[in-house]
Amino acid sequence: MEIHELQQLLSEMSLQEKIGQMVQLTGVYFDKEAVLTGVVGEQLPPEWIIQYAGSVLGVIGKDKIYDIQSRYMEQHPHHIPLLFMADVIHGCRTIAPIPLGQACSFHPELVSEAASIAASEASSEGLRATFSPMIDVSRDPRWGRMMESFGEDPYVNGIMGKAMVDGYQQKDDAGIAACLKHFAGYGAVNAGREYNDVEISQRTFLEQYVKPFRMALKAKPAMVMTAFNAIDRKPISGNKELLKGLLRDKEGFEGTVISDWGSIGQLEEQGVAADMEEAAIQASEAGVDIDMMSPAYMLCLEKLVESGKIPEAFVDESAFRVLMMKNQLGLFENPFAGLGKSGKLTLHNREKAYQLAGESCVLLKNEKLLPLSRKKKVIWAGPYTASRELLSRWSIFGEHEAVETIEDILGETVEQMLKAELDEHLDYEYGEKPLSLNTRNGSSKKTVKSSYGNIDLNIPRDREGSFEPQALKKYQK
């Protein structure tokens, strides 16, 4: 859609329709199986907000999103499509290492490729925006969200953040909108406590914590998310000096600013707004375009505009930015763009995740431990040796059924080692399990020496003369 067509569309929209574009609802209002990443308040949104809401978070699935999108657009006066967003942090279905691990690879091209794979899988299932990458400089190990960042160095955060944005925002139907977060200083929360305030100098703030955003903004991310914390005792979601003065005017960001979950409403809890109306005023004046799951915009913005406390021009600016983002994603031409186009957990995707996992490993000290000796016994103990719950807390769409257990992998490794030692006695035929093998002398019983000790192979012969290695399987266990 051309810019003048978008402007014409905006001019035809009612105030409620425009405010709707500025509200993001969780998917539970559209689908009971939606993923929750925050608390839903007791107060329900007005019916018109559910009808006009511009974006939804936490819903995934090709058929599900097709159904929600179809019903929504049919009843919308201007048939404007919804934008589905979610936390795709380090992979959608194919899970890559956590961002902190990816930083250890020092391989931004591979990080970008992993983000591209995540985008392809996400868009194929209906998601067109992610709340990633997180480029908060993180130096306090007490802060639980450190795993979501690229670590303690501003430059590494900037380089990896830009690489991820490039990967997410590929120029086709498989691309999704990226979101830099959390602007800014979130990684410096006091005592490493989530949602806490930040007490740092302006010089440290600008040189250390804003620097990664300055670098990653060169990739032109679609969104920037506000942080929960305050800088100089002023919470970011109502901080006009930072969001308009620094982010937009100085750094030149032209995209959409979205709040974190409920952060506009929390301006009241943080003591800088007397009530939700005042919170809405502060956020709107600061230039926050989308209110994620707080009551502020959905309950107060219409009344504030009608009473003259907020100029309607503020609403127009924010609503237009949201429409622009949807237009850049091609949703006006095809609201179902990308649905079902990419496979998930494909061999290529898994190989890239495996490569990134290998390059992310860091050996801090090796006291004659590696490489492991075949002459020494090693025990792997604990419940996680047989568990598939290995994907991390931020892989909310990962499929645990596809995870290989440590026990499975070690079994395959022993099998490979045994094959190497038994090659002089046996011919192996690798294919679909069970593994078949033939003894060269045609016997069905053989004792073979190996570095693991003597192994008795009692192998029943089948009709075609191949053998099923039952004894070998038993040995592996």
Edge-to-edge order in the sheet of strand 256-258? 179-183, 223-226, 256-258
Residues 99, 394: Cα–Cα separation, whole Å: 10
Reading the block at residue 131, the tokens are: 């709340």
Which amino acid does the sequence have at 82?
L
Contact between residue 137 and residue 191 where contact means Cβ atoms under 8 Å apart: no
Partners of 447 in the β-ladder? 456
Candidates 327, 54, 326, 328; CA nearest to 170 is 328
Q: 302: part of which helix (H) or strand (E)?
A: helix 295-306
CA neighbor of 323 nearest in space, from 67, 16, 17: 17
Contacts of 389 (CB under 8 A, 6+ apart): 400, 403
Instruction: Tally the C-alpha atoms within 13 A of residue 108's C-alpha that lie toward its C-beta.
Output: 15
Q: Which two tokens stand for residue 149?
A: 């960042």
Active-site positions? 260
User: How far is it, in rounded angstroms, from Cα 114 to Cα 155?
Assistant: 20
Contact 56/85 with Cβ under 8 angstroms? yes
* Helix, coil or strand: residue 55: strand
What dihedral do alpha carbons 144, 146, 148, 151 form, nearest 10°?
-170
Q: Rounded CA gap, 354 and 348, in Å?
A: 10
Cis before 280? omega within 30: no
DSSP string, 390-445: -S-TT-TT--GGGPPPHHHHHHHHHHHHHHHHHTTTEEEE-SSSSPEEEETT--SE
Q: How far apart are CA 19 and CA 40, in angstroms?
A: 20
Strand partners, 180: 224
